[in-house]
Amino acid sequence: MLTVRSLHTYYGNIHALKGVSLHVRSGEIVALIGANGAGKTTLVHSIAGLLKPQKGTILYKEEDITALAPEAVVQRGIALVPEGRQIFATLSVETNLEMGAFIHRNRRDQVQRDMGALLERFPILKERRRQLAGTLSGGEQQMLAISRALMARPDFLLLDEPSMGLAPLVIREIFAIIQRLRDEGRTILLIEQNARAALEIADRGYVMETGKVVLQGEGRELLVHREVQRAYLGKG
Ligand code: ATP
């Protein structure tokens, strides 16, 4: 479904992605793990059209999307749930959701229907739909960030560290939501510092270090891989 081939992305002189290749099949959850600064966010921003890679290609459903603008990428069916949620804190929950549907802005009825369905799905957001998003708890804000992305009607989700800053119980809830999204047929590329939780729900995973993929395998394989255990799971 998504194929990244030999991707190179720079920030000025900083060579952040040094030839990254990976693929995600339809219906998979693929985890992307690695230390801070490994290049995970740079990779998803390159896929989302927020950064322009200097070399390499990104294919989505057999189309070359490497040079597309962010809005065009969303139109193809790829939505980003950014690191740190990036919700609009001074706007209401409802307005945040509407903003996620900007590519459908001329379809008022559809947007209202989709919003209604999401609010039914996440009753806590429904209860707070007129509240400013900044007043929500961390877990609720993450739910809102995911819901906002869903308003674009994506079939592919890029999730950048959804568990960041959340308590263990809340993380479990968010990961259950991610699994449900996959069970409904969406495809997911999941960036996580929380390697264990990510690999436990992932079909496959990639490990990045300093701008490169250094390991890949099935989620279960990586969980028991000695290097992964040592570097990312805090084991001997
Ligand atoms: P994190 O978990 O901290 O987000 P990451 O794996 O997502 O880590 P990136 O944020 O993609 O890593 O960063 C990759 C490299 O690019 C790092 O060396 C980082 O310092 C550098 N970098 C990231 N953003 C910028 C920027 N805006 N300008 C310059 N260098 C940057």
What's the domain count of the chain?
Answer: 1
Instruction: With a cut of 90, say whether residue 59 has pLDDT above it.
Output: yes
Indicate whether 192 belongs to any domain: yes
Q: Which of 20, 41, 80, 190 gets mutated to test ligand 1 (max ligand atoms within 8 A of its CB)?
A: 41
Question: How many C-beta atoms surround the C-beta of residue 135 within 10 A?
Answer: 12
Burial of 18: CB neighbours in 10 Å, binned 0-12, 13-18, 19+: middle
Indicate whether 144 belongs to any domain: yes
In the prediction, which pLDDT does 84 show?
86
Indicate whether 177 belongs to any domain: yes
Tell me the per-residue pLDDT of 85-102, one tens digit each, with 9 for 90 and over.
999 999 999 999 999 999
Instruction: With a cut of 80, say whether residue 236 has pLDDT above it.
Output: no
In the prediction, which pLDDT does 234 show?
78
DSSP characters for 133-148? GGGS-HHHHHHHHHHH
Distance CA 170, CA 186 (A): 22
Tell me which of 13-22, 41-50, 103-112 is least confident. 103-112
Indicate whether 182 belongs to any domain: yes
pTM of the model: 0.94
| Predicted-complex ipTM score | 0.93
Domain hosting residue 187, numbered range: 2-231
**For all residues of the chain together, what is the average pLDDT?**
95
C-beta 194 within 6 A of ligand 1? no
Long-range contacts of 220-228 (CB under 8 A, 24+ apart): 222/31, 222/33, 223/196, 223/199, 228/33, 228/195, 228/199
Q: Could you tell me which residues come within 8 angstroms of residue 214 by beta carbon, excluding any fewer than 6 positions away? A: 207, 208
Distance CA 228, CA 191 (A): 15
User: From ligand 1's centre to the CA of 11, what distance in Å?
Assistant: 9
Tokens representing residue 110 in the block:
């559809």
C-beta 207 within 6 A of ligand 1? no
Sheet holding 55-60, edge to edge: 14-24, 2-11, 55-60, 63-64
Considering just the CA atoms, what is the radius of gyration of the chain in Å? 17
The strand pair at 156-160 and 29-33 is best described as unpaired
C-beta 14 within 6 A of ligand 1? yes
* CATH classification at residue 135: 3.40.50.300
Residue 12 Ramachandran class (φ > 0 left, ψ -120 to 50 alpha, else beta): left
Atom 28 of ligand 1, nearest CA residue? 11
Tell me the per-residue pLDDT of 130-188, one tens digit each, with 9 for 90 and over.
999 999 999 999 999 999 999 999 999 999 999 999 999 999 999 999 999 999 999 99
C-beta 219 within 6 A of ligand 1? no
Instruction: With a cut of 90, say whether residue 231 has pLDDT above it.
Output: no
Indicate whether 236 belongs to any domain: no
In the prediction, which pLDDT does 163 show?
94
Indicate whether 215 belongs to any domain: yes
Instruction: With a cut of 70, say whether residue 192 has pLDDT above it.
Output: yes
Determine the atom of ligand 1 nearest the C-alpha atom of 12.
Answer: 29
Indicate whether 119 belongs to any domain: yes
C-beta 39 within 6 A of ligand 1? yes
Structure confidence at residue 232 as a pLDDT band (50, 70, 90)? confident
Instruction: With a cut of 70, say whether residue 104 has pLDDT above it.
Output: yes
C-beta 82 within 6 A of ligand 1? no
Indicate whether 196 belongs to any domain: yes
